[in-house]
């Protein structure tokens, strides 16, 4: 009896030590699977916004994903302002401009260049000022809004912070947070 209780105690003591060890090693294993600090540090891209030309799509790379940067010309903004919603009479430009990033006096479309349907990369037509996804025929306008389904929503906007004439992708600035709150992007 005395022996067996001593054995029982040793069993429980071993169980406790082994339990702590198991949890600790699981934590170490989880941490080893985490993205490396160098990978995380490379998760930021800084764009110099003075270098872009009007109505010319440039594809940048952020976290391995394509990023569409399109500088809007004066006439593109005017066209947006002229379009009025047939129902509310509100200027569509006011709605669409919320999707654009204003740096200095210029408006830019900055989005992740992956179709929100199945992740293909749409192509830009500078004459039509629209993006066509060849995979399933989805169409977006020059602010990244869907004009023809199947895409369920407009092109996603990456987290950004405005820093003077520069744009830092990967950081959440107040302008981006506002877009997220108002549901302009996910």
Partner 1 sequence: MAHFTKAKSLHDWLNQRLAIDTLRRVLATEYWIPKNINFLWAMGMVLAITFALLLVSGIFLLMYYQPNVDLAFDSVNYTIMQEVGYGWLWRHIHGVAASVVFLIIYIHMFTGIYYGSYKKGREMIWISGMLLFVAFSAEAFSGYMLPWGQMSYWAGMVITNLFSMGGLQLDGLVEWIRGDYIPAQAFLNRFFMLHVLLIPLAIIGLIVLHFGALRIPHVNNQDGEEIDFEAEAAKYKAGNKKESKVIAFVNDFMSKDMMVVSIYLIFFFYLVFYHYDFAMDPVNFDPADGLKTPTHIYPEWYFLWSYEILRPFSTNVGLIAFAFAQVIFFLLPFLDRSPNAVPASRRGLFKYWFWAMLIDMIILTGMGKLPPEGIFSTIGLYAALLFIGLWIVLPFITKFEKKV
Residues at the site binding partner 1, with contacts judged by CB under 8 A: 33-36, 39, 43, 59, 61, 63-66, 114, 118-121, 134-135, 186
Nearest distance from C-beta of residue 90 to partner 1, angstroms: 30
Nearest distance from C-beta of residue 64 to partner 1, angstroms: 3
Nearest distance from C-beta of residue 113 to partner 1, angstroms: 8
Nearest distance from C-beta of residue 124 to partner 1, angstroms: 14
Element holding 96 (H helix, E strand): helix 92-97
Which of residues 34 and 181 has its CB atom nearest to partner 1 in the complex? 34
Which of residues 63 and 129 has its CB atom nearest to partner 1 in the complex? 63
Give exposure, 74-101, as e/b (b: 16+ Cβ within 10 Å): eebbebbeeeeeeeeeeebbebbbebbb
Structure tokens at 16: 């406790």
How far out from the chain centre does Cα 103 lie? 19
Nearest distance from C-beta of residue 56 to partner 1, angstroms: 18
Residue among 170, 156, 174 nearest 117 (CA): 156
Which of residues 16 and 186 has its CB atom nearest to partner 1 in the complex? 186
Pairwise CA distance, residues 47 & 58, whole Å: 11
Residues 116, 150 contacting (CB under 8 angstroms): no
Which of residues 64 and 89 has its CB atom nearest to partner 1 in the complex? 64
Which of residues 89 and 183 has its CB atom nearest to partner 1 in the complex? 183
CB atoms within 10 A of CB 132: 16
Residue labelled with tokens 């941490």: 31
């Amino acid at each position: 009896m005395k022996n067996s209780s001593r054995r029982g105690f040793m069993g429980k003591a071993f169980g406790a030590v082994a339990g702590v060890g198991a949890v600790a090693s699981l934590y170490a294993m989880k941490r080893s699977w985490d993205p490396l600090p160098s990978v995380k540090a490379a998760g930021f891209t800084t764009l110099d916004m003075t270098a872009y030309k009007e109505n010319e799509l440039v594809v940048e790379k952020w976290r391995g994903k394509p990023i569409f940067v399109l500088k809007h010309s004066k006439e593109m903004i005017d066209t947006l302002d002229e379009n009025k919603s047939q129902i509310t009479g509100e200027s569509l430009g006011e709605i669409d401009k919320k999707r654009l990033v204003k740096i200095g006096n210029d408006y830019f479309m900055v989005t992740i260049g992956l179709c929100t349907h199945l992740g293909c990369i749409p192509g830009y037509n500078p004459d039509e000022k629209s993006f066509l996804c060849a995979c399933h025929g989805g169409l977006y306008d020059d602010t990244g809004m869907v004009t023809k389904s199947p895409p369920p929503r407009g092109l996603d906007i990456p987290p950004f912070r405005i820093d003077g004439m520069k744009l830092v992708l990967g950081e959440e600035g107040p302008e981006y947070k506002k877009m997220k709150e108002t549901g302009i992007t996910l």
